[in-house]
Amino acid sequence: MAVSPNTENYLYGKGSVLFKKSGESGYYHLGNCPAFSLNVELEKAEHYSSMAGTKEKDLSKILQKSVKSSITMEEFSAQNMNLVLLGGTPTEATQEASTLSSVSVSVVMDQFVQIQSGALRLSSVTVTDGADTTYEEGDDYILNRESGMIMALSTGSISGTCSVSATVAALTTTTINALSESSCEGELYFVGNPDVGPNWQVKDGTWNSVCLVNCRSSPTISPRLPSKRNFRQTTTIIPTPRSLKRPWWSSRA
């Protein structure tokens, strides 16, 4: 690294943020992170002398050191969502392509109900009274094809039950069991890859405040690291539209 002052030390930070859960052997990539910074926080006990008219500080002791990392993440991967929601091990399920034939559905007026449990991503949907009457979408009911749900409209002609036929697509789903864990412990690893400036690789924060990837105004993830490597947090989820400022979560030890 060049000796200061030197413009080669200016940092236009870029890099990858990795995370390894405690008990696991490998890191997974958190995806694109527009901002990543570290801040060292100190808790001090300070004593002031009472032996003169104006008190003067005569002792200062550090009681606790901690490192707070702030990360803005953009990718809604299953791994990231599982981390945010304090999930256990994500589970995958496969839905085979099939056909629903005249499934009787008990409707609730102006509320969505499931057409058939587990049947997602429907197409070619027909809704009838089970006999000769075919109901009209938009006039008599509203469909949510992705979730396989139907809402009978109180202004329409459906009363009590209806009969639904549809094609069910083949797909694989991932289920995250939110809040199945009370905490999350692990290790953050930043691998620098800047366009300009020194290349930092960080596991242990040792600066008062440093931004390693370009910062912008956006919600952040703020895990507090009580030790050099491990952190524990509880989580609050704040969903936001996918405009430019993504959600994420804040956590506190």
- Residue 200 scores a pLDDT above 80: no
Highest mean pLDDT of the ranges 14-18, 75-79, 136-140: 136-140
Tokens 């939110």 correspond to: 178
- Residue 137 scores a pLDDT above 60: yes
Are 179 and 86 in contact by the 8 Å Cβ rule? The answer is yes
Alpha-carbon distance of 191 to 223, in angstroms, equals 18
Q: Percent of the chain having pLDDT more than 90?
A: 35
Q: What residue numbers bound the domain in which 104 lies? A: 98-174
Of 132, 149, 174, the position where a domain reaches its end is: 174
pLDDT tens-digit profile of 68-95? 878 888 888 888 888 888 888 888 888 8
Task: Mark whether 51 and 159 lie in a shared domain.
Answer: no
Q: Nearest 10 degrees: CA dihedral of 115, 78, 215, 8?
A: -150
- Residue 161 scores a pLDDT above 50: yes
**Looking at the domain assignment, is residue 128 inside a domain?**
yes
User: In this structure, what token pair is assigned to residue 243?
Assistant: 């405009």
Task: Mark whether 117 and 139 lie in a shared domain.
Answer: yes
Of 174, 190, 211, the position where a domain reaches its end is: 174
**Looking at the domain assignment, is residue 117 inside a domain?**
yes
Task: Mark whether 212 and 158 lie in a shared domain.
Answer: no
Tokens 């895990």 correspond to: 223
**Looking at the domain assignment, is residue 58 inside a domain?**
yes
Task: Mark whether 103 and 155 lie in a shared domain.
Answer: yes
pLDDT class of 65 with cuts at 50, 70, 90: confident
**Looking at the domain assignment, is residue 139 inside a domain?**
yes
Q: DSSP character for 12? A: B
Task: Mark whether 147 and 110 lie in a shared domain.
Answer: yes
pLDDT class of 202 with cuts at 50, 70, 90: low
Alpha-carbon distance of 206 to 228, in angstroms, equals 9
Task: Mark whether 51 and 124 lie in a shared domain.
Answer: no
Task: Mark whether 196 and 169 lie in a shared domain.
Answer: no
Q: How many domains does the chain have?
A: 2
**Looking at the domain assignment, is residue 2 inside a domain?**
no
Task: Mark whether 237 and 189 lie in a shared domain.
Answer: yes
Task: Mark whether 170 and 213 lie in a shared domain.
Answer: no
Task: Mark whether 161 and 183 lie in a shared domain.
Answer: no
**Looking at the domain assignment, is residue 1 inside a domain?**
no
Q: What is the mean pLDDT of residues 204-231?
A: 38
**Looking at the domain assignment, is residue 59 inside a domain?**
yes
Task: Mark whether 150 and 204 lie in a shared domain.
Answer: no
Task: Mark whether 189 and 216 lie in a shared domain.
Answer: yes
Of 156, 174, 192, the position where a domain reaches its end is: 174
